[in-house]
Structure 1
């Protein structure tokens, strides 16, 4: 298993082709890798997230609990994506979200203090940090705008288009919650599309 872990970390570092040997050594010195079982949490609401997770293998969902006690799914995180509540992470404030594994998962962790140290030491690290932040912001903005400018059917079709790799790995209940509709409404949309 250690060999497999080593490969995951090597593959992760390859995502940053502009790093020099000093920067790679620095990154290697702090990256850790953790296995999670299905239903285990990367972090829970009320906790301060000390590390950003990068998913090597597995599938997670981000959700919050509303005033009625319902779990509202706000996102799914699969392979090669970052598992984080980024605004809370950057401010080191308690998160309002839970991030839960829907499948057994292997996650690389990047500690907050080491990320900040990398930014101050290396210009390239700062650039990659900005690119990651921009990606996270874009994903969050796209979700908000989908509720403003699309109806439920359009949200469903766009979700399928953008998530072909995970659509068969998530439950209809989680998907309906993510789309902001009841499960029965999702079933109606699906059968309507199937008839086209």
Structure 2
């Protein structure tokens, strides 16, 4: 739980009583590789913090192809925000790429924290803003760069992820075929 507290305190200050309240609502959870944290067609009911492991957000396009939108690794929050906040069905899957250890909050407990801790909403807003900025920064180069440059950029930005995700997921994220990714990796070595 120490990782969660350190993460939260990057975005604002809390006293020990507030931290204790947050921790009292937190539950440890393990999600096995390939299982889902949240699923398309269902309402997202938890906010998670990844202590160990990698998750990915993916969806199926109109051809039935699985597309990886992005990866989420340790020390990051995981939530399908639109589904969670508006109680609507999600359009994406959040899947464990590796075995994951998480700290989770139910919707009820998360809302109780928002209603009880003064300034918690500001901290959450800062966390969401950071996540959105990161998401845009991750996706923007994928539009304009060639496949090799996209792969090299990914290696540079996510050295802790690159060797822990299946090549099929990485190829999907980069918008290329798995055989193209294999050629790129072979030419780089």
TM-score calculated relative to the size of structure 1? 0.85
Give the secondary structure class of the aligned counterpart of 1:15. helix
Name which of 102, 111, 120 aligns with 2:115: 120
Query: Whole-Å Cα distance in 2 between the matches of residues 26 and 45 of structure 1?
Result: 31
Match for residue 85 of structure 1? 80
**1:45-194 equivalent positions in 2, closer than 5 A:** 45-194=40-189
Secondary structure of the corresponding residue to residue 118 of structure 1: helix
Q: Do the aligned partners of 2:3 and 2:51 also contact (CA within 8 Å) in 1?
A: no
Measured in 1, the distance between the counterparts of 2:25 and 2:40 equals 25
How far apart are the structure 2 equivalents of 1:122 and 1:165? 34
1:21 corresponds to which residue?
Answer: 16
Q: CA separation in 2, counterparts of 1:125 and 1:135?
A: 15
Q: Does the CA-based 8 Å contact 1:53-1:109 persist in structure 2?
A: yes
What's the offset of the Cα at 1:102? Answer: 2.0
Give, in whole Å, the separation in 2 of the partners of 1:23 and 1:34: 22
Q: How much has 1:143 moved relative to structure 2?
A: 3.6
> 1:158, 1:90 → 2: CA distance?
33
The runs of 5 or more residues in structure 2 that have no matched partner are none
Paired with 1:106 and 1:33, the residues of 2 have a C-alpha distance of 7
CA RMSD, 1 decimal = 1.8
Task: Tell me, in whole angstroms, the C-alpha distance in 2 between the residues paired with 1:10 and 1:193.
Answer: 39
2:147 and 2:111 mapped to 1: Cα distance? Answer: 40
SS in 2 for 1:55: strand
The number of residues matched between the two structures is 186
List runs of 5+ in structure 1 lacking aligned partners.
1-8
Q: C-alpha displacement at 1:93, in angstroms?
A: 1.8
Shift of residue 133, structure 1, vs aligned partner: 0.6
